[in-house]
Amino acid sequence: MKKVILKPLMVALLACVSVAGWAKDVVWDQPSTEVNREIEGFFSPLLEITRVEFAKDETRVFMHIADRPENWVRISSASYLRADGKQYALKSLDGMQLDQETYLTDHGRVDVVLHFEPLPQKTKRFDFTEGDFQGAWQLLGVEQPSTRASQLFPSNWRNTQTGDWDISFFDECAIYDCKFWNYKQKEQKGDKYTFVLENGGKEIVVNVDKNKAGKRIMTIDGRKGEYNFISSITLPDYPQKDTSTSFKDTGYKTDTVTFIGWLKDMPLNMLMRGDEFDASVCDDFFTGDQSETYAKMDSLGRFEMKIPVLNSAEVFTDWNRTFIRTMFEPGETYLLLYDFKGGHKMFMGKNCRLQNEILAHPIEWVGNHPEERGLDREAALKFFEDTKADKADAMNILQQVVEEHPNISERYIKYLTGSYNACECAALMQGRFSMKNWSVPSEILDYVNQVGWQQAAKPYTLYREFRTFKRDYIDQLVMDRYSVPVDGGYISFSTTVYPYILKKYKDAGKLQISDEELEIVKRYAEGCKKFCTIIDKDEEMQKASDEFYSSELAKQFGAIHDREDVQKIIDDEMPLFEVYKTVSILDSIGCDQDMRDILITSELFEILDHERQPLSDNLMNYLEENVKMPAAKAFLKDKQEKYLAISRRDISKSPSLKSPEDVANMSDGEKILRKLIEPYKGKIILMDIWGTWCGPCKEALSHSQEEYERLKDFDLVYLYLANRSPEETWQNVIKQYEVLGDNVVHYNLPEAQQSAIEKFVKITGYPTFKLIDREGNLLDVNADPRDLEGLARLLKQMQ
């Protein structure tokens, strides 16, 4: 769908202003607003009056509106201005239709001009309200910035020379140098002020000269400068162009970011969301997880946190309140002011220009998932073109920002360009899950290789979406080379990696094998891919398959495979097969040592996470010999020590672990289940059918303690039935998440008996949760403990 950006309307309307000779009218550019609670723009609307023109026949209010993309906004014809106790009605609206729902573009913003009955040209202050109904938009205390600057409390000030937000004065405290300062002494003479500020035992003196057209000379801790009053929601354009293009790169050495903030004058609905502020950092390239850091806010809404970071990374702040998507660099200190009443959101810090520019001109959301499944080649290529068009729209907006704001920094341009590339390529590779047999056209793979892989921004932690792209892209290439699609999934088999491993040993001088023999192994592996599936194989295909497996090539391969030296290499290297698949792909597409280290470590962690057992000495030696990044080695060694400690703990005699002997000779699923729950008749049983191989199952188990605490008043029995789970891995998961207790029961039944139970209860996925009442009846209800409050309500009804 073609996206229409409505911002050019403003340019056209301003042009009309000049043509019509309105220049003689009184004009307020970027007026100040005393109360503006609509400052978000994604989960709730953002409103900002950017210009007011007082003409003889009307007053024109220019307003910028933003909301979640594809949401609608509406302006009521009942809107009015109020000044000096009088109301001035809305006459017309440019850019939208009055009283009609206007769906925003995919980028979620529109600029409008509201035409009101004329305010007196000498008006000093007015209010805008959308009407006298509940939930109506209101912007109160709108006035000329040069006039408003005469009131020092509250106010924010930026250095005229640097453009940085340097200092603020509020009744509660002052803000300077990323700190909150108490007023130890205040002195006022007319419009001049002298303060002694105190923070942590340190005192500084601040002298504030009188207001001159929105500017004041201030001497702060002995440093004199000129300061401009800040009237806009975000920081205005910086006065000089910044041409630097680099982002801090620590070489992936863990550091910290100091993040300080103030959610000032939070409304009740925001206060109800708790007293913790959270920041999510997207820099964990080894697990793909986001790390969360939390900090308690004081009674005013202020907080301070130390965020551990691997490198410069994308950050999402307090998603349910501030919804800021930005980036932080290691070693930096940032202070965020998010003023819910005054309508300001700004960063303070020695190096926060990029963060302020992103607040003023937010990062667009690029890329969508296909709505349909099983896309054929034609549909996949259509999705490809649509995704490219989506990025092109975002890049057009970026170009528009550059043209309208010539001093926008080169770092901003580079950061957003890299973000759009990463998001586009991540969307394209996520789209593979909607393509028939996960068959991604070569056009897409070639494109993402060039745009997403070869041009990847560094450090690799910069963008959350690059993690998704990197994983999906490499997985797709591994699947294409080493697997065969079948029935919506794929079959992977070990023979395909033999050529890579044997050549590796030959090149290292550790195996005597000829090039001709390697070619035999390679040809046989390719044949195996062709004939590996027997599902729906027609008679001719079956004949060709039989001939292949009895061919001379197969006999030659068998002779090589059965050699003692070859067999030993295969046996020794088998745990590393998945790692070798990834490394072989990296060898073919190219990458630097950092990316190689990241991907090897990720593969080893996947083995560890799947098995939930310590890695073998062979795997740890591979890490030591092939990975150079200290942070990668430290990460995996830390996980290894964790599982070594878990494996040493013996719970084999725990009463929670039950023996399957009582049902050893049973085969009927219903009867097996009845036997298992027999000892708990009279109690409600929450049954969890899970597997150690199942990621969502283990994620649910990780919240077991929270679950037990929340449901402790319901006298439950927790019955866990494991599907196809190796004994040691099964016990390690139980130990890791402390899934133990007097009312906790675990069974790891033989596969046939487990399957019989699962068939009886008609499970459709993992994990499956079922409730069994006090009489032993299986209930058809939603008993998912991942919705703890919902489950608690259900159990309360059963009491």
E-strand spans in 46-178? 46-54, 59-66, 72-73, 80-83, 86-94, 102-103, 109-116, 125-129, 138-143, 155-159, 165-169, 174-176
Q: Is residue 332 within 8 Å of residue 75, measured between CB atoms?
A: no
* DSSP of 530-576: HH---TT--HHHHHHHHHHHTSHHHHHHHHHHTSHHHHHHHHHHGGG
For residue 243, give the amino acid letter.
T
pLDDT (0 to 100) of residue 301: 98
Q: Is residue 770 within 8 Å of residue 779, measured between CB atoms?
A: yes
Between CA 242 and CA 430 the distance in angstroms is: 36
Between CA 709 and CA 687 the distance in angstroms is: 17
pLDDT (0 to 100) of residue 490: 75
Rg (CA), the chain: 32
Three-class DSSP labels, 526-540: HHHHHHCCCCCCCHH
Burial class (CB in 10 A: 0-12, 13-18, 19+), 647: middle
Burial 308-334 (b: 16+ CB within 10 A, else e): ebbbbbbbbbbeebbbbbbbbbbebbb
- The backbone torsions φ and ψ at residue 688, rounded to the nearest 5 degrees and listed phi first, read -125, 115
Cα–chain-centroid distance for residue 540?
A: 50
What tokens appear for 320 in the block? 């349910």
Q: 277 - beta bridge partners?
A: 295
Chain segment 132-152, per-residue pLDDT in tens: 888 899 999 999 999 999 999
* DSSP of 463-529: -HHHHHHHHHHHHHHHHHHHEEEETTEEEE-GGGGHHHHHHHHHHTT-----HHHHHHHHHHHHHHH
Q: Is residue 447 within 8 Å of residue 384, measured between CB atoms?
A: yes
pLDDT (0 to 100) of residue 530: 78
pLDDT (0 to 100) of residue 471: 94
Q: How many residues in the chain?
A: 799
Opening angle at CA 161, ends 156 and 162, nearest 5: 75
What tokens appear for 3 in the block? 């996206």
pLDDT (0 to 100) of residue 533: 58
Burial class (CB in 10 A: 0-12, 13-18, 19+), 337: buried
Q: 782 - beta bridge partners?
A: none
SS3 42: coil
CA 690 vs CA 684, 700, 718, 760, 766: distances in Å? 19, 10, 13, 15, 6
For residue 358, give the amino acid letter.
I
Between CA 354 and CA 366 the distance in angstroms is: 20
Opening angle at CA 32, ends 26 and 38, nearest 5: 125
- The conformation of residue 664, written as its DSSP 8-state character, comes to T
- The conformation of residue 170, written as its DSSP 8-state character, comes to -
pLDDT (0 to 100) of residue 487: 67
Please measure the distance between the N-terminal and C-terminal CA atoms of the chain and give it in whole angstroms.
53
What is the residue whose two structure tokens read 């924010």? 156
Q: How many CB atoms lie within 10 A of CB 340?
A: 23
SS3 333: strand
Burial 518-555 (b: 16+ CB within 10 A, else e): bebbbebbebbbebbbeeeeeeeeeeebeeeeeeeebe
Q: Is residue 351 within 8 Å of residue 412, measured between CB atoms?
A: no
pTM score of the predicted model: 0.89
Give pLDDT < 70 ranges for the chain: 1-23, 106, 487-489, 532-538
Q: Is residue 658 within 8 Å of residue 689, measured between CB atoms?
A: no
**Shortest CA distance to 764 belongs to which of 654, 673, 689?**
689
Task: State how beta strands 483-486 and 489-492 pair.
Answer: antiparallel
Between CA 83 and CA 153 the distance in angstroms is: 22
Q: Is residue 554 within 8 Å of residue 548, measured between CB atoms?
A: yes
pLDDT (0 to 100) of residue 13: 46
